[in-house]
Structure 1
Amino acid sequence: MGAFVLVAFVVPVPAGLVFPRTSWPLHITLARFDSRDTVDVVRARLDVALPVLLGFGVLIGPDAQFGRNASVPVSLVDPEPALQRLHLAALEALGPQVHLPGAQHNGPNYRPHVTHADTRLRPGDKFRIRQAALVDMRPDNDPRLRRVLAVWESA
């Protein structure tokens, strides 16, 4: 079973980008999922749903702490209906055949955020969601790396 995440990078990236799991570019997670389907099947499901929903702006809200023991600093994304529609469309396109770890954080409980890294976003920052990217969480069975498998640009 493949482990994947669909994200919106703050700064668009190219397909094929490989990075260490400890050095994610700033992003908003749209959906985290496991699938027995091939990457081509997953990509085909998302091809129809994503491009028409991209190309909107988001506003960064206050900081918060997520994760075990509230140890992960994040910047919340202010509520944005277009982002919620993108999240729900991705889940619908992926369908019931995928497994959603942390399913309790999807749908109406989706809390978009940008995890702080070497850099971070500040309250009041704005950026456009111009791209969605499919990321392999274990490329070549190496859990230390991440690989961008596909990108979709705004139509």
Structure 2
Amino acid sequence: MGCRCVVLPIQAGLVFPRSGWPLHITLVRFDTRETAEAVRSRLDGVLPAQLGFGVPIGTDALFGRDGSVPVSLVELEPTLQLLHEATLEALGPRVHLPGARHNRSNYRPHVTHAGERLRPGDKVRIRQAALVDMRPDGEPRLRRVLAVWEPG
């Protein structure tokens, strides 16, 4: 599963291919054996109160093991960093963080270029966060939006 800040509006229930992500900023990538409802209930107390802020888009970069994934970096934004850390705290010790080295002080928020892209200097308003199943029904080629939060 994962928790993402969504750049363009989406709805719970949306299913899309792994290669067809809507523009988003990953808050936390995690795995868990818990139900989506259990995870959602913990995030309900954190996400709505902290959404609705803006972030500036910075320069382009290349991510991934071989540097082949083009991204737009998100410039340092204290509110986004606080949201990332609050999400980690709400998830707690019952989740596994496969990218643990990319969290807390090493968090590098970015938007992956996937058909659409953002440009340096763009400003994005963070109006939604989403809980996404990375293997719905055991299918690694699909993603499913399980829950969406908006500012509360």
Is this a same-fold pair by TM over 0.5? yes
Aligned equivalents of 1:23, 1:37: Cα separation in 2: 26
Is 1:112 the equivalent of 2:121?
no
1:24-35 to structure 2, matched below 5 A, reads: 24-35=21-32
Aligned equivalents of 2:125, 2:143: Cα separation in 1: 23
Residue of structure 1 equivalent to 2:89? 92
Q: Quick one: percent identity of the two aligned structures? A: 71
Please state how far the C-alpha of 1:9 moved relative to its aligned partner: 1.2
Measured against aligned partners, the alpha-carbon deviations of 1:95-120 in whole angstroms (never above 9, x if no partner) come to: 01100001000000000000011010
What TM-score results when the alignment is normalised by the length of structure 1?
A: 0.97
Aligned equivalents of 1:121, 1:38: Cα separation in 2: 34
Measured against aligned partners, the alpha-carbon deviations of 1:55-103 in whole angstroms (never above 9, x if no partner) come to: 0001100001111111111000000011001100100000011000010
Residue of structure 1 equivalent to 2:41? 44
Candidates 147, 150, 153, aligned match of 2:150: 153
Candidates 120, 123, 148, aligned match of 1:123: 120
Residue of structure 1 equivalent to 2:141? 144
Aligned equivalents of 1:43, 1:35: Cα separation in 2: 12
Please state how far the C-alpha of 1:38 moved relative to its aligned partner: 0.8
Aligned equivalents of 2:116, 2:38: Cα separation in 1: 34
What TM-score results when the alignment is normalised by the length of structure 2?
A: 0.98
Aligned equivalents of 1:112, 1:124: Cα separation in 2: 15
Which amino acid in the other structure matches residue 76 of structure 1? L
- Structure 2 unaligned blocks of 5 or more: none
Residue of structure 2 equivalent to 1:75? 72
Aligned equivalents of 2:55, 2:151: Cα separation in 1: 15
Candidates 55, 59, 66, aligned match of 1:58: 55
Measured against aligned partners, the alpha-carbon deviations of 1:31-50 in whole angstroms (never above 9, x if no partner) come to: 00001111110000100011
What is the aligned length?
A: 152
Please state how far the C-alpha of 1:21 moved relative to its aligned partner: 0.5
Which amino acid in the other structure matches residue 141 of structure 1? G
Aligned equivalents of 1:9, 1:102: Cα separation in 2: 20
Residue of structure 2 equivalent to 1:132? 129
